[in-house]
Amino acid sequence: MKVGIFISGTGTNMVAVCRNFLDRKLDGVEEISFVLSDKRSAPGLEKAEAMGIKTIVLLKRKEQTREDYEAELLKAIEPYDVGLLVLAGFMKVLGNRFLEGFCGRIINIHPSLLPSFKGVNAQSQAFEYGVKVSGCTVHFVDSTLDGGPIILQQPVFRKNDDTDDTFRARILEQEHILLSKAVSIVCKGDYKICGRYVVLNQEEL
């Protein structure tokens, strides 16, 4: 399956997926067709270029409505004919216009154990709440915020001497592993969805 990746920033999750693909460790992925950013200054863009991956920058103009921006997004990626879109630190919420075009074919990585700590800065939300365990989640994207069916989750335990930064870094390390696993599962079609539950053909325990 051909895969496109959306980013907004550093792009370490995107790099992890691309690295695994280039090292032939991502079963089911035929090509990483592009990395698209909604920010020109996203450091991930240079990293993608250095790996030889096609990059696209598409900024939302001030006067543009979300619907118009999303129509432009769809048009920009249409020629690549990707089967899966991966949101890897893409910080825009996609609306119905976009989701209809990619129904059931978008996944997102989120740095908490959903449904806890939705939205931005989930790691700090969890840290400040004082949780013993947080982690990361890869889920299908639907029209609700961080709310689509969960594909994979990985817990990360907080240590007594963790700071917000060290906790965040250990979660990110697990994100890199989890996202690649999820991309491969979805591309191979190694799952089925029963209601909200994603049944994996090979149970991840």
- Binding positions for ligand GAR, rule: CB under 6 A: 7, 9-13, 44, 88-89, 109-111, 122, 172, 175
What's the CA gap between 21 and 4, in Å, rounded? 12
Name the minimum Å distance from CB 75 to ligand GAR: 24
**CB of 154 closer than 8 Å to CB of 114:** no
Nearest CA to 152 out of 195, 86, 94, 107 is that of 107
- How far CA 51 is from CA of 17, 46, 60, 94, 118, in Å, comes to 11, 9, 26, 27, 32
Would you say 172 or 187 has its CB closer to ligand GAR? 172
Nearer CB in complex with ligand GAR: 89/101: 89
Known catalytic residues are: 110
To ligand GAR, the closest distance from the beta carbon of 87 in angstroms equals 7
CB 144, min distance to ligand GAR, A: 13
Kindly tell me which of 82 and 179 has the beta carbon lying closer to ligand GAR: 179
Alpha-carbon distance of 188 to 176, in angstroms, equals: 19
Residue nearest to ligand GAR (CB): 89
115: preceding bond cis by omega (within 30 degrees): yes
